[in-house]
């Protein structure tokens, strides 16, 4: 029952995603800005904030390079492949349009951009919406002062209408040796809890059915503010993930948590999941299982603690879905240490796993570690891990055959309805296919019965209600 053509990922390039934005009725055509958004969901939120400010000031958003007076490219610079993709995108925008402003994570390394593309108009670092607007003003006169009626209350979104990312903090206090994000985005800065909750409410009232809570380290939310008490609609709420999630649960929509470090405080979230208040889903980047490798990575927690914590989580919430990412071939990783990681994978029985062959990142301290693992060995280890995980994923999905589950519709195509369950985050996890059912639309919740599964996806039929 495998469907051959799976839907393409959303938001690879934002130039084609903004063509349905509202147009201002005006006798004089306002200037148009093209926009390309690359990178992770945190960068996507930055893009949404910039677009919202542009529309509030009366700029139009062009769906093509040709129709734009200038183009903003929001870049990623986390790994070498992302740097190359960003530089290629800048080059394409310059070739197609000629006037380009660069922002985002790669913008924190201006010399790389200047060397490849000296003709760009301006460069900013990440989460610099106001600075981007200043550069836009310098090259395209501001149509008028902002009026909130020009944009919807929830702002401009690059995601489909039925789900949205909710960024609760910026930056990170960790110093993982393979990562340069803190040097790009700075230390942890938590958003005021009242602001986060108001944004979430605006999104829910606009028709969003699923909120994906993100940050660089979601479980650290509020640490920098010492969990200060804030206010939402006159009621006190602590700036802490548990209290934030408890209020988000009141909006009656799916709430999904990403990038959650395995701190003991995460245990407090499990009752909310077991009670159905937030989705029973955790995206926890374990990265490895060998104590020595984790220490070399400067990652928190040990593999033994993580295995015990996973068991405790499943005791409290048996239906919890656990997603994680791992790095194979980290500098100095021995074959026996990699075998420790494989043993962890076998015992943990995680639902969703991504594994990356270690890639040196310019500026990361891990580059100076001894014992570089050859490229072919890194890739071979990555494949071995994913082969094992594929069997585990297939087994865990097969166990759902015969169960009735709730799904959120993403799309209806010529074959039927494409949806996601509580176990499936958009773009990174699997899908639920309801073949030959067409009486649905994106954002609908459906009750279905699982009738088949493979290593990635479920196949279901509608439950007659």
Output the six-digit token pair for 307. 């295995």
Instruction: Please give the share of the chain, as a percent, with pLDDT higher than 70.
Output: 91
Report whether 28 belongs to an annotated binding site.
Answer: no
pLDDT tens digits, one per residue of 438-449: 999 999 999 999
Kindly state which CATH superfamily the domain 32-139 is placed in: Methylthiotransferase, N-terminal domain (3.40.50.12160)
Q: 3-class SS at 419?
A: strand
pLDDT at 13: 40
How many CB atoms sit inside 10 A of residue 97's CB? Answer: 19
- Report the predicted TM-score, pTM, of the whole model to 2 decimal places: 0.75
- Please return the burial class of 20, using the count of CB atoms within 10 Å of its CB with bins 0-12, 13-18 and 19+: exposed
Compute how many other C-beta atoms are within 10 angstroms of the C-beta atom of residue 440.
20
> Tokens at residue 96, please?
């197609």
pLDDT for residue 262 = 85
Q: Tokens 């009725």 identify what position?
A: 25
Q: In terms of residues, how long is the chain? A: 465
Question: Stretch 183-197: mean pLDDT, rounded?
Answer: 91
Give CA–CA dist 181/78, Å, rounded: 7
Beta-bridge partner residues of 75: 104
Q: Distance between CA atoms of 214 and 42, rounded to whole angstroms? A: 7
Alpha-carbon distance 292 to 137, whole Å?
Answer: 51
Domain with CATH 3.40.50.12160 in the chain: 32-139
- Provide mean pLDDT across the span 288-298: 93
Quote the CA–CA distance of 421 and 431 in Å, as a whole number: 7
Residues of the chain with CATH 3.80.30.20: 163-399
Which tokens go with 241?
A: 């993930």
Q: Of 304, 380, 389, which is closest to residue 342 (Cα–Cα)?
A: 389
The values of phi and psi at residue 68, to 5°, are -95, 145
Q: Using one digit for the tens of pLDDT, what is the confidence trace for 420-434?
A: 999 999 999 999 999
Segment 24-46 mean pLDDT: 81
Q: What is the pLDDT of residue 136?
A: 95
DSSP 8-state assignment for residue 303: H
Nearest to 256 by CA among 237, 273, 240: 273
Is 317 annotated in a binding site? The answer is: no
Alpha helices in 144-207 (DSSP H): 181-185, 193-205
Pick from 106, 46, 79, 63: which is nearest to 91 by CA?
A: 106
Give the pLDDT band of residue 183 (cuts 50, 70, 90).
Answer: confident
176: annotated binding-site residue? yes
How far is CA 351 from each of CA 154, 258, 289, 322, 455, rounded to the nearest angstrom?
A: 33, 15, 17, 5, 10
Please tell me the distance from the alpha carbon of residue 358 to that of residue 151, in angstroms, as a whole number. Answer: 43
Q: How far apart are the first and last CA of the chain?
A: 25
Percent of the chain with pLDDT over 90: 73
User: What is the average per-residue pLDDT within 128-139?
Assistant: 91
Q: What is the pLDDT of residues 330-356, one digit of tens each?
A: 999 999 999 999 999 999 999 999 999
Has 105 been labeled as part of a binding site? Answer: yes
What kind of fold does domain 403-462 have according to CATH? Answer: OB fold (Dihydrolipoamide Acetyltransferase, E2P) (2.40.50)
pLDDT at 6 over 50: no
Out of 13-17, 74-78, 213-217, 408-412, which region has the weakest mean confidence (pLDDT)? 13-17
How far, in Å, CA of 461 to CA of 446, rounded?
A: 10
Q: Across residues 178-202, what is the average pLDDT? A: 90
Confidence band, pLDDT 50/70/90 cuts, at residue 28:
low
pLDDT at 22: 42
179 is in an annotated binding site: yes
Residue 20 has pLDDT above 70, yes or no: no
pLDDT band at 25 (very low <50, low <70, confident <90, very high): very low
pLDDT category of residue 185 using cuts at 50, 70 and 90:
confident
Q: What is the DSSP string of 20-45?
A: TS-----SSPPPEEEEEE-SSHHHHH
Domain with CATH 2.40.50.140 in the chain: 403-462
Is 40 marked within a binding site?
yes
Compute CA 407 distance to the chain's CA centroid, rounded to the nearest angstrom: 20
> Which CATH number does 163-399 carry?
3.80.30.20
Whose tokens are 């495998």? That residue is 2
pLDDT in tens, 208-261: 999 999 999 999 999 999 999 999 988 899 999 999 999 999 999 999 999 998
Average pLDDT, the chain: 89
């Amino acid at each position: 029952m495998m469907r051959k053509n799976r839907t393409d990922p959303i938001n690879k390039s934002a130039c084609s995603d903004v063509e349905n934005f509202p147009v201002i009725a005006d006798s004089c055509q306002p200037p148009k800005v093209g926009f390309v958004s690359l990178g992770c969901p945190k960068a996507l939120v930055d893009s949404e904030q910039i677009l919202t400010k542009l529309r509030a000031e009366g700029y139009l958003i062009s769906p093509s390079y040709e129709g734009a007076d200038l183009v903003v490219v929001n870049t990623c610079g986390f790994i070498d492949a992302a740097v190359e993709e960003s530089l290629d995108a800048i080059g394409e925008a310059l070739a197609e349009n000629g006037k380009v402003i660069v922002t985002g994570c790669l913008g924190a390394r201006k010399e790389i951009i200047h060397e490849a593309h000296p003709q760009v108009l301006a460069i900013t670092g990440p989460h610099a919406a106001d600075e981007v607007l200043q550069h836009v003003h310098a090259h395209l006169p501001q149509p008028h002062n902002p009026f909130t009626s020009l944009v919807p209350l929830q702002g401009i979104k690059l995601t489909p209408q039925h789900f949205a990312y909710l960024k609760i903090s910026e930056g990170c206090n960790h110093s993982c040796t393979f990562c340069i994000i803190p040097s790009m985005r700075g230390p942890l800065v938590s958003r005021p809890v009242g602001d986060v909750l108001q944004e979430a409410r605006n999104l829910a009232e606009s028709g969003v059915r699923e909120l994906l809570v993100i940050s660089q380290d979601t479980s650290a939310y509020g640490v920098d503010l010492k969990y200060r008490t804030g206010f939402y609609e006159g009621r006190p709420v602590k700036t802490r993930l548990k209290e934030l999630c408890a209020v988000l649960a009141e909006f009656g929509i799916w709430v999904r948590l990403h990038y959650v470090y395995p701190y003991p405080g995460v245990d407090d979230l499990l009752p909310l999941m077991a009670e159905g208040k937030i989705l029973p889903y955790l995206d926890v980047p374990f990265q490895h299982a060998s104590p020595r490798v984790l220490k070399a990575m400067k990652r928190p927690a040990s593999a033994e603690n993580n295995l015990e914590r996973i068991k405790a989580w499943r005791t409290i919430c048996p239906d919890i879905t656990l997603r994680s990412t791992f790095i194979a071939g980290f500098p100095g990783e021995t074959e026996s240490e990699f075998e420790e990681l494989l043993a962890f994978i076998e015992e943990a029985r995680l639902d969703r796993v991504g594994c990356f062959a270690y890639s040196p990142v310019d500026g990361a301290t891990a580059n100076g570690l001894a014992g570089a693992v050859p490229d072919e060995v890194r890739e071979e280890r990555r494949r071995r891990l994913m082969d094992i995980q594929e069997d585990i994923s297939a087994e865990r999905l097969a166990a759902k055959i015969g169960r009735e589950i709730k799904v959120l519709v993403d799309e209806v195509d010529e074959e039927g309805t494409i949806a996601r369950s509580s176990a499936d985050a958009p773009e990174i996890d699997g899908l639920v296919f309801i073949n030959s059912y067409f009486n649905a639309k994106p954002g609908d919740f459906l009750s279905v019965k699982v009738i088949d599964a493979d290593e990635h996806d479920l196949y279901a039929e509608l439950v007659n209600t």
